[in-house]
Amino acid sequence: MSTGWIGLGKLGAPMAGHLARHLAAAGHPLLALDRDPARIAAVPGAEAADLDRIAACQIVITSLPDDAALRAVALGPDGLIARMAEGSVLVETSTVSPETSAEIRGAAEARGVLSLAAPVSGSTATAEAAALTLFCSGPEAALERARPLLATFARTIHNVGTAEEARYLKLAINHFVGSTAQIAAEALTLARKGGVAWETMLAVLGSSVAASPLVAYKLDPLRRRDFTPAFSVAQMLKDMSLAVAAGEATGVAMPVAALVRDLYAAQGRTDLRDLDFFAALLAAERKAGLGEPDRPE
């Protein structure tokens, strides 16, 4: 099965790497396209290809940063979809708005292309470990054809509908995640200001009713005060903005999401922009007049 990949960013590169190794074991290359040729060279088993060669593949997977990038690549008379063959499959893994996703699906259907929305849930670490979660919606036939390829980088694949359900679910999950970071920032800062030692606070948090898989995943970097981005403040601002817009479009009041979005927007205008989104903690601590906590040697 010929396979093409477009977009080798922080998540796309490790995802494509797992798929390329799988295809190489069967004697097939993964045709890849990215605006930075060095990214393609960094993925073993990937072969640089132009848009025409990518579009000629039976399955094409895209991993792009936002709505504008996806529309620029996929739509228009010279775009990806216009070049794809009838019966081929387009798998779109980016986090984009339901409206743009529906536009992509409509263009694909007009061309006879099966379009599968498959936004990714996870981080760079889970991508590198091939442990991502995919929310998929679209034609059942598209998912079944793509599933063996998607399983090379996703531990869990949820089939949630036939239209844009996957987009709404991804935004809902990211609302939970993004809001949790802001709540944690405020709560941890309050405890520190009240004199609770940093290590004690994190130990209690990890065994408390407030613990969750997300909190458990973040405890170690928090202990180390390591805000290397698994998912940046700027990226979370984009996703929270999409969630608020989706609420407005569907008539769902999103006051909490709007507040969280605005907090990320303010943090994104500072030196925190490219740090992990849990750097919201640093913003809260600064406002409270706190510096770095004392930690055991």
* Structural Rg of the chain based on CA atoms: 20
Percent of the chain exceeding pLDDT 70 equals 99
Active site residue 287: no
Structure-block tokens of residue 105: 């699906």
Instruction: Return the pLDDT at 296.
Output: 66
Instruction: Return the pLDDT at 257.
Output: 98
Instruction: Return the pLDDT at 294.
Output: 83
Q: What is the mean pLDDT of the chain?
A: 97
Instruction: Return the pLDDT at 105.
Output: 98
How far, in Å, CA of 250 to CA of 167, rounded? 13
List 10, 170, 238, 287, catalytic entry: 170
Contact 115, 90 (CB under 8 A): yes
pLDDT bucket at 16, cuts 50 / 70 / 90: very high
DSSP state of 10: T
pLDDT bucket at 295, cuts 50 / 70 / 90: confident
Overall average pLDDT of the 144-158 stretch: 98
pLDDT tens digits, 173-219: 999 999 999 999 999 999 999 999 999 999 999 999 999 999 999 99
Residue 171 confidence (pLDDT) above 70? yes
Instruction: Return the pLDDT at 1.
Output: 78
The reply to whether the predicted model has a pTM over 0.85 is yes
Of 230, 88, 90, 257, the C-alpha closest to 168 is 257
How far, in Å, CA of 62 to CA of 100, rounded? 14
Residue 231 confidence (pLDDT) above 70? yes
Residue 297 confidence (pLDDT) above 70? no
Residue 101 burial (10 A CB sphere; 0-12, 13-18, 19+): buried
Query: Which residues are paired to 60 by β-bridges?
Result: 4, 90
Catalogue all structural domains in the chain, each as residue range(s) with its CATH number.
Answer: 3-163 (3.40.50.720), 172-287 (1.10.1040.10)
Overall average pLDDT of the 253-280 stretch: 98
Structure-block tokens of residue 108: 């694909």
The contacts of residue 274 (CB under 8 Å, 6+ apart) are 229, 232, 233, 234
Overall average pLDDT of the 102-107 stretch: 98
Instruction: Return the pLDDT at 162.
Output: 97
pLDDT tens digits, 20-66: 999 999 999 999 999 999 999 999 999 999 999 999 999 999 999 99
Percent of the chain exceeding pLDDT 90 equals 97
